[in-house]
């Protein structure tokens, strides 16, 4: 069975500082993808970054980077130089190649302070 765990219900960060949002996962499938989505109060899920299980390097997309530690089954999101507009819910998700349903964690609410 696949499972995603986000243990931080809420996080605060000062504007312009970096913040790490934690995510651990569990799957028996050797081929899988890990995703991070941002969900502002409007409700739309905005894709941020993707990491494949066979990717050798950690994924980066602008100010977002994914700290992928396969042996520890963790896929933490790092946001550098936080901006006020980064305040939102952040969800970690996983989908395995042999399964078509994307599993989401419970989410972390990030608040950026001016």
Partner 1 sequence: DAGVTQSPTHLIKTRGQQVTLRCSPKSGHDTVSWYQQALGQGPQFIFQYYEEEERQRGNFPDRFSGHQFPNYSSELNVNALLLGDSALYLCASSPLSGRAVGEQFFGPGTRLTVL
Q: Which residues bind partner 1 (CB under 8 A)?
A: 4, 31-33, 35, 37, 42-47, 50, 52, 91, 93, 95-97, 99-107
> Length of the chain in residues, anyone?
114
Least distance in Å: CB of 24 to partner 1? 14
Query: Which lies closer to partner 1 via its Cβ, residue 107 or residue 112?
Result: 107
Question: Residue 87: beta bridge partners?
Answer: none
Cβ at position 89, least distance to partner 1 in Å: 9
- Nearest of 5, 3, 52, 7 to residue 26 by alpha carbon: 3
Q: Which residues, listed in sequence order, are joined to residue 79 by a DSSP beta bridge? A: 19, 64
DSSP category for residue 101:
P
Nearest CB to partner 1, comparing residues 46 and 81:
46
Residue closer to partner 1, measured from CB, 92 or 112: 92
DSSP-based three-state secondary structure for 85:
helix
Least spacing, CB of residue 107 vs partner 1, in Å: 5
Beta-carbon neighbour count of residue 27 at 10 Å?
A: 20
CB of 14 to partner 1, least distance (A): 25
């Amino acid at each position: 069975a696949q499972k995603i765990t986000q243990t931080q219900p809420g996080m605060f960060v000062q504007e312009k500082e970096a913040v790490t949002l934690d995510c651990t996962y569990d799957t028996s499938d050797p081929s899988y993808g890990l995703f991070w989505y941002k969900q502002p109060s409007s409700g739309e899920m905005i894709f941020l970054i993707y990491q494949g299980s066979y990717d050798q390097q950690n994924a980066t997309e602008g100010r977002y980077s994914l700290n992928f530690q396969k042996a520890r089954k963790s896929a933490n999101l790092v946001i550098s130089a936080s901006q006020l507009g980064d305040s939102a819910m952040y969800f970690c998700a996983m989908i395995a190649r042999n399964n078509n349903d994307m599993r989401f964690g419970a989410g972390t609410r990030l608040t950026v302070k001016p």
